[in-house]
Structure 1
Amino acid sequence: MRWLDRFEEAVVVVLMAGMTLLAFAQVVARYVFNYSFVWALEVIGVMFAWLIFVGMAYGVRIGTHIGVDLLVRNLRPGAARVVGCVAAALCIGYSLVLAWGGLQYVLKMHEVGILMQDVPIPQWWPRAILPAGFLLLAFRFTQVLVAAARGEAVHMISDESQDALKLKETGTTGLAE
């Protein structure tokens, strides 16, 4: 699923860059030219929502979500594996419930047919990220569940102290150089 990983990363990069450029253009237009793009705030809000929904799945994939794992770290490997599988299964269930609810919401928005306030497109188009984002999240948690069931190292939560020590040993900053 390398293509999905790259697509996910590209979407995050494009959304962040687009939000930044659009916000910058809006500020310049407003304060330099005394002009404002009426639609800019709404588009930035939509881009931010899409960034959140794609970003939460990306965070699961690379293991950067915040969590408390004191109990799991003190368990024997077999017990920790079971707890990891149960946690991943619960996350999958939660994501699927929210995907279903998001789908129902998007279908209702489609049925009602309301346009966005400043951009002449139906509201259900940008809101389609709700079920899509939660399905992507469920897929990422499924990958975590499979890895946990196989006994592979599962990184639902990052370990900042270990990451810092690795960076110190290699002499790098962790930033793209």
Structure 2
Amino acid sequence: MFDRCKMLLKHVDTASKGLVICAMAVMTVLVVTQVVFRYAFSSAIDWSDEVARLAFVWAMFLAIPHGIRAGVHVGIDALVTRFSAALQERLFRLSAALGCILMLVLFYFSAQVTVYSWPELMPTINLTAAVYYIAILIAAAHSTLHLLLLVWGGSETWSEETMS
């Protein structure tokens, strides 16, 4: 069952990674195009700043669960490294469980903000301002899945992939 859940999460990660790459590409193309238009043509694309900002927000939030999976988020372990391996593992799982609770709280409040901001439109494009918060909802849900898997499998959950 653990391996099946891990495989499903790998598929979610693959899709998410593709979205991060697309969002970064959109942001890059729009910013470069905007610079060219401003300096070469003394003109501007009125919606490019907003769409580039939206792409940046989506890329950053969708990348958070990948950092959780790889274990690259900032942590202070000066004290924890002095404990036995068994205690370190228990603390790792506790930390993942607490992180999971935090992500569920984030999901709850971002869902409320998404609903609240849904009627509000962006200034330059006919799109709800809630799309900024939808990225947070997705990131919180995806992060929760990763943290639950880490609580279940422990610190070695993804270790075979980081070695290759």
Runs of 4+ in 1 over 6 A off after TM superposition: none
Q: Is the 8 A contact 2:38 2:44 kept in 1?
A: yes
Q: In the alignment, residue 94 of structure 1 is paired with which amino acid?
A: L
Stretches of structure 2 that go unaligned for 5 or more consecutive residues are 1-7
Paired positions, count: 153
Distance change in 2, residues 1:53/1:65 (3 Å): same
Q: What is residue 74 of structure 1 aligned with on the other side?
A: 82
Matched, 1:90 2:98: yes
d(CA) in 1 for partners of 2:102, 2:132:
22
Q: Equivalent residues in 2 for 1:90-169 (5 A)? A: 90-110=98-118, 113-148=119-154, 153=156
Structure 1 runs not aligned, ≥5 long: 156-162, 167-177
Cα RMSD for the two superposed structures: 2.0
The corresponding residue for 1:16 is 24
Q: Give 3-state SS (helix, strand or coil) of 1:70's partner.
A: coil
User: Is the 8 Å Cα contact of residues 21 and 59 (structure 2) preserved in structure 1?
Assistant: no
| CA contact 2:24–2:59 (8 Å) conserved in 1 | yes
Asked whether the 8 Å contact 2:107–2:136 carries over to 1, the reply is: yes
- Give TM-score, length-normalised by structure 1: 0.80
Distance of 2:17 and 2:28 partners within structure 1 = 17
Deviations 1:79-132 (A, max 9, x none): 11111111001000001001000001111112xx11111111111234211222
Q: Normalization by structure 2: what TM-score? A: 0.86
How far apart in 2 are the matches of 1:126 and 1:97? 18
| CA–CA separation in structure 2 for the residues paired with 1:8 and 1:69 | 29
Q: Name the structure 2 match of 1:160.
A: none
Letter paired with 2:26: G
Separation in structure 2 between the aligned mates of residue 10 and residue 64 of structure 1, nearest angstrom: 20
- How far did 1:154 drift? 5.8
Range that drifts further, 133-142 or 22-31:
133-142
Cα distance in 2 between the residues matched to 1:49 and 1:18: 12
CA distance in 1, matches of 2:24, 2:130: 22
